[in-house]
Amino acid sequence: MKLYWAPRTRSLRALWVLEEAGVPYERVKLDLMAGDQKSAGYRAINPMAKVPALTDGPVAVAESGAICAYVAEVVPQAGLAPPLGDPARGRYLQWLFFSPGCVEPAFLTKSANIPVRPEMASFGDFDRVFDVLEAAVTKGPWLLGEHFSAADVMIGLDLHFGIDIFKLVPSRPALRAYVDRCLARPALQRAKAIEAAGV
């Protein structure tokens, strides 16, 4: 597998899931300021000209959530996704899609101070999104109980950025404890070190 990435982007999700999977992969760092992502070669991999993107032989995958799902599927021995037929798979998919479907639009509307009518917004409202997440992680330690999954990669980083970086989400005890559990994972520590080193 080959990961196309850049520091301080959603690439951290892909780095984390690949480190959790524990399989060899190649990193190709793109210089976004130089416009590497706009080259014809890269746009053949990701027509949106964004990072991250992943290739695996003839397979090309863009969007960080899709990369998390793909890695979990092709590296089943890592246990990052419940197998087909497992009842936990429904909630796993729900949380995997909750990030781009609910958390990110909630961040956008809050940071831009855009008023939203909950009945009109796909994500309801900001408070509801984080009330739901608080209830989910309170049962813990992970979204699927005792089983860490690729969905925790998505939601864990969302909450880390929302609480610690963007300062948009109040640091409620259950959310703080969940983020701290995520930050303590050796795979995330390795991913953050890769990002910091920029290699």
Task: Report all structural domains of the chain as residue ranges with CATH numbers, in order of start.
Answer: 2-79 (3.40.30.10), 88-186 (1.20.1050.10)
* Whole-number percent of the chain with pLDDT over 70: 99
pTM above 0.85, yes or no: yes
pLDDT reading at 118 higher than 80? no
pLDDT reading at 119 higher than 80? no
Mean pLDDT over the full length of the chain: 95
Secondary structure, 3-state, the chain: CEEEECCCCCHHHHHHHHHHHCCCCEEEECCCCCCHHHCHHHHHHCCCCCCCEEEECCEEEECHHHHHHHHHHHCHHHCCCCCCCCCHHHHHHHHHHHHHHHHHHHHHHHHCCCCCCCCCCCCCCHHHHHHHHHHHHHHCCECEECECCHHHHHHHHHHHHHHHHCCCCCCCHHHHHHHHHHHCCHHHHHHHHHHHHCC
